[in-house]
Structure 1
Amino acid sequence: MPALAAPLIAWYRDTARDLPWRRAGFGAWGTLVSEFMLQQTPVNRVIPHLEAWLDRWPTPADLAAAAPAEAVTQWANLGYPRRALWLHRAAVEIRDRHDGIVPRDVEALLALTGIGDYTARAVAVFAYGDRHPVVDTNTRRVLARVVDGVAQAGPPGKADLARMEAQLPADLTAAAIVNAAAMELGAIVCTARSPKCDVCPLSAQCAWRNAGYPASEDRRRRQAKYEGSDRQARGAVMKVLREAAPTAVPLDAVIADWPDPVQRDRAIDSLIADGLAEAADAMLFLPR
């Protein structure tokens, strides 16, 4: 068994958070929805939205039968609402290509709208129990510190999968736990800014700790300020449309008091270009 596997498995079994998608009987559709929602959104914000979503649309076919506008409205304030449109399109593809069953095969998952390497492997591993490396930002940070002895991981790439593969036991169940444990460790212990090395199960093996915590360049891109940004303007437009749905809103009434009218128009145009809004007869509305 790889050197990191045993301590990770023991630690995870003792300390893993009780999250809905980790409970017995949580199916592949729920796992897929949770992974869409967890992209760039904290766990505590996702859980109530996930539960409400699955209550409303317990299968891909249920979501596929709904209008895209309903998906965007249900997405509420989770942010990055294109994810709602992608999830709706993926549900339609699952219904039409896979008889309403979330596929198990990684390549079939990758062919669905909005699904990349991480999400495809997460569904195959955590929903179906297959053996694949699953790598997110937290996993990459753990590997960078424990294995490479650097504070921050380099740019993501295909090599990350091979590096995680080297840490996986042959046993399917154990491999799934190691995948989950590495992510969990990075999320709550081996954090970006204040790692809790005193409670880390890998502290004795950590090359970064053993080297005296050498500093390294922070390669993470810093997100632009939200206040006054185009993102804020887009969010304000989406809020108006969600609250009015399914009724359309006169274009000139959409955030009419926005302090920068050029930014307001740019936000509306970008939402239309992204398929998150539609315009007709001087009215704006969610996609139908």
Structure 2
Amino acid sequence: MSERARYATLMTAAQLAALQQSAPNTLVIVDCSFDLANPAAGRDAYHASHIPGAFYLHLDNELSGPKTGTNGRHPLPDADALVARLQALGVNDDTQVVAYDRQGGMYAARLWWLLRWVGHADVAVLDGGLQAWEAAHYPVNKIVPDEPQLNATPGKLTRKPSLAALVNADIVQKYLGHTDKPVIDARAPDRYRGENETLDPVGGHIPGARNRFFRDNLQADGTFKSAEQLRADFAAVLAGAKPADTMLQCGSGVTACHNALAMEIAGLTGAALYAGSWSEWCSDPARPVATGPNP
């Protein structure tokens, strides 16, 4: 393995540009741009302009698995299928993967979490996304690179022990009311309160869940807040609970990964993702629902 720097949370535009020059053969860049209201928009944006050499992975089709009606809007993909898809992009065990989007990292963080889930540590989100790249005057183009799979030289990424914790609805329900095992909801405050719900059939939140809107992890320019600020912010939400006893959720298990990344940046490690999140939780009318502000 090379002696290059390794990135496991964030990477700046300057760091990515330097890595493109110094170690291009150990780098895979993935554009994860998406729009929940228009699932074609992200791929269209990618084809219009992207970081040179970047591939595109689609949230619905490649970063999620089949929906059953009771497993949420973005269930996790099959882990082995995900590894195979990443191999097709040329990802090896020593590859530095960099994920970015145009939406403050809300979709790039999903790929970051998924790679950790299959045991790959060298994955980072481009801090500030494509906007930061362009603001630094680095080039973009429209060229869609050939996938290594097409040249019969796929990567050799292997599935390894997971670096990301995961819980299901039964575990969440088991610990309802346990303040030492909190649930943190990454949705916007109005959706958390049960107002203005347009994505799921039921408004509200998991009883006892605490609201930490994922966009509160970002500064005005779209880059992440400092580790110190994030640590202070999440300490207030945790209210004494241990990070490793925390369960993260959102609408469908996507923006909860943004909170997972923010906690990792802050050094608050070990929080588990409830991947089904609200869209799975509310699919069963027997599960309790709460509305209103933070408890």
Interval containing the TM-score (normalised by the shorter chain): under 0.3
Whose radius of gyration is greater, 1 or 2? 1
Would you tell me which structure has more strand in proportion to its own residues? 2
Would you tell me which structure has more helix in proportion to its own residues? 1
TM-score (norm 1): 0.25
> Which one scores higher on RCO, CA 8 angstroms, separation ≥ 6?
2
TM-score (norm 2): 0.25
